[in-house]
Amino acid sequence: MKELSTFTWILIFAFSAMLVNSFGIWAIYKKRGWAKRTKEYCMCFAAGILISSPLIMSLPHALQKNSHAGFAALLGFVFMYFSNKIIKNKTKQRELAFGITAIEGIAIHSLMDGVIYTVTFSMGTVIGILNGVGLVIHEFAEGIITFSVLMKGGVNEKKAGIYAFLVASLTTPIGAFIVYPLVQHFSDDILGLALGFVSGVLIYVSASHLLPETSEHEKKHSTLAFIAGITFAFVIVLTKH
pLDDT band at 154 (very low <50, low <70, confident <90, very high): low
**Mean pLDDT value of segment 209-230:** 76
Q: How far apart are CA 107 and CA 237, in angstroms?
A: 31
To the nearest whole number, what is the mean pLDDT of the chain? 78
**Mean pLDDT value of segment 174-178:** 86
Whether the pLDDT of residue 92 is over 70: the answer is: no
The predicted structure's pLDDT at residue 176: 86
Residues 6+ positions from 230 with CB-CB distance below 8 Å: 48, 49, 51, 52
The predicted structure's pLDDT at residue 70: 93
Q: Are 14 and 114 in contact (CB under 8 A)?
A: yes
Q: How far apart are CA 143 and CA 100, in angstroms?
A: 10
Q: How many CA atoms lie within 13 A of 145 on its CB side?
A: 29
What is the separation of C-alpha 41 from the centre of its chain, rounded to a whole number of angstroms?
A: 15
Nearest-Å Rg of the Cα atoms of the chain is 17
Q: Are 41 and 225 in contact (CB under 8 A)?
A: yes
**Mean pLDDT value of segment 76-85:** 84
**Mean pLDDT value of segment 46-51:** 78
Q: How far apart are CA 180 and CA 5, in angstroms?
A: 13
**Mean pLDDT value of segment 191-210:** 82
Q: Where are the alpha helices (DSSP H) in 54-156?
A: 59-65, 69-91, 103-123, 125-152
Burial of 50 (0-12, 13-18, 19+ CB in 10 A): buried
Looking at per-residue pLDDT, the higher value among 73 and 150 belongs to 73
Looking at per-residue pLDDT, the higher value among 89 and 206 belongs to 206
Instruction: Name, of 44-58, 81-95, 214-228, the range with top average pLDDT.
Output: 44-58
109-136-72-101 Cα dihedral, nearest 10 degrees: 20
Provide, rounded to the nearest whole percent, the portion of the chain with pLDDT above 70: 81
pLDDT, tens digit, 9 for 90 and up, residues 14-24: 899 899 889 98
**Mean pLDDT value of segment 192-201:** 85
Looking at per-residue pLDDT, the higher value among 157 and 92 belongs to 157
